[in-house]
Structure 1
Amino acid sequence: MAGARIEHLVTSGTFSLDGGTWDVDNNVWIVGDDHEAIVVDAAHDAEAIALAVGGRALRAIVCTHAHDDHIDAAPQLAARTGAPILLHPDDLPLWKQTHPDRLPDGELADGRVLAVAGIELTVLHTPGHAPGAVCLYAPALTALFSGDTLFAGGPGATGRSYSHFPTIVDSIRDRLLTLPGDTVVHTGHGETTTIAAEAPHLQEWLDRGF
């Protein structure tokens, strides 16, 4: 694994959509080694994220989706580090609500492989919370970075614009619950979980209709 590891920081700010604004704490994940890294979701505080990256080469700023709390610091972090911002194109309408004058630098597509620190992260397109939502699967780290698609306790919210409950359930069932049970799910907010911990509850989610 060439020393690859997962680092974590929590940043605080707001999430705004459909005319409402809420205070939120976001998980920011850094995957890499002593020499290079990628950032998963540049939320709220570019300075704190840049300090956590330190002198390492930042290879990419990966956006799991384009809700403003997950991308608000991305352009500033990109300007500071030179790293490209990567986003699934289905989330461009959401992105443009926050950054109308600055497009992402590259596209994420289902099956794309991102390499860093001697390991690979595979992009899984998992729409539902947002049309272009993705997760990143890193088998060498027994890790899934799920953004707001899957949390400890159930699917991400689907009550606002651009979201759809049946779609997120399909994404979780078909793309995530098929992964090894010991895969640790590193979420966009809150605590980590595992695939094995969440898999038994699929029918409950369907019955509750989140």
Structure 2
Amino acid sequence: MTYTGDVTPGGAPDVRELEHLTITKLAVDEQMSNNCYLLRCRETGDQVLVDAASDAPTLLSLVGDAGLTTVVTTHQHWDHHRALADVVAATGAQVLAGAPDAAAITEQTGVPVDRELAQGDTVAVGSCTLSVIALAGHTPGSVALLYEDPAGSPHLFTGDSLFPGGPGRTTRPEDFTSLMDDLESKVFGRLPDDTWFYPGHGNDSTLGVERPSLAEWRSRGW
């Protein structure tokens, strides 16, 4: 089956098999329709979850007997970590989040953040590596995770900082400017058009599809 990234809450996950990494995308919560991503190293079997957004039983079923080494929370908004406490309690996974958002995540979930992430940090998925890209604007500590596939195109998990059609929501003009500056310099300015990105809600896209709209996004202010 060809991966499309088109998933709906209550429906089946979509699975993408790369040479070294398997990406499983699952949507949870009928109202918010959050995307959760389970990444599995094909060499070691180690697994990392990006956003334990909701529905811990479904997420734990997806994790299965292989266990979970890490949960990365892309940002502090409540809809992206409602299942964090239950998933961590069941798996013992380490909790990672952007440093400026870490205290808020712990306050909201009761779960300590084991490692605070900053620009240029790395997250291991077995023998695979994710690079941390800090994208301040949607929240102060939002992070994206970049997997540079040695056998193909880059893959970028953007949380709520980048969607098909524009950047994530911001509440102040200075936050919008910060987010656009980071997206243009750290994402569009360094990654190729065939980079596939996976957002926190809705369908995926590529940087090449979105790149022609950067000036329009900047001028409209959202």
The amino acid that maps onto 1:58 is L
Structure 2 distance, partners of 1:90, 1:98, is: 14
Deviation, 1:2, is 6.3
Structure 1 distance, partners of 2:84, 2:49, is: 10
SS in 2 for 1:58: coil
Question: Which string of whole-angstrom CA distances, capped at 9 and with x for unpartnered residues, describes residues 125-146 of structure 1?
Answer: 1111000000000011620000
The 3 A distance-change label for structure 1 pair 73 and 193 is same
TM-score normalized by the length of structure 2: 0.84
The question of whether the paired residues in 2 share the 8 Å contact of 1:2 and 1:33 is answered with no
1:114 equivalent in alignment to 2:123: yes
Structure 2 distance, partners of 1:90, 1:76, is: 23
Structure 2 residue aligned with 1:17? none
Structure 2 residue aligned with 1:176? 187
The question of whether the paired residues in 2 share the 8 Å contact of 1:2 and 1:117 is answered with no
Structure 1 distance, partners of 2:106, 2:154, is: 34
Cα RMSD over matched residues? 1.8
Question: Which string of whole-angstrom CA distances, capped at 9 and with x for unpartnered residues, describes residues 32-91 of structure 1?
Answer: 146221000110111111111111131100011010111111111011001011111201
Structure 2 distance, partners of 1:113, 1:45, is: 27
The amino acid that maps onto 1:180 is P
TM-score normalized by the length of structure 1: 0.88
Structure 1 residue aligned with 2:134? 125
Structure 2 residue aligned with 1:52? 62
Question: Which string of whole-angstrom CA distances, capped at 9 and with x for unpartnered residues, describes residues 93-116 of structure 1?
Answer: 5325522x4322221121111121
Structure 2 distance, partners of 1:70, 1:53, is: 17
The question of whether the paired residues in 2 share the 8 Å contact of 1:3 and 1:117 is answered with no
Structure 2 distance, partners of 1:139, 1:102, is: 30
Q: Greater CA deviation, 89-98 or 199-208? A: 89-98
The ranges of structure 1 where at least 4 consecutive aligned residues each deviate by more than 2 angstroms after the TM superposition are none
Structure 1 residue aligned with 2:90? 80
- In structure 2, runs of 5+ residues without a counterpart are 1-17
Structure 1 distance, partners of 2:175, 2:81, is: 21
Structure 2 residue aligned with 1:8? 25
The amino acid that maps onto 1:171 is D
Q: Greater CA deviation, 59-68 or 106-115? A: 106-115
Q: State percent identity of aligned pairs.
A: 35
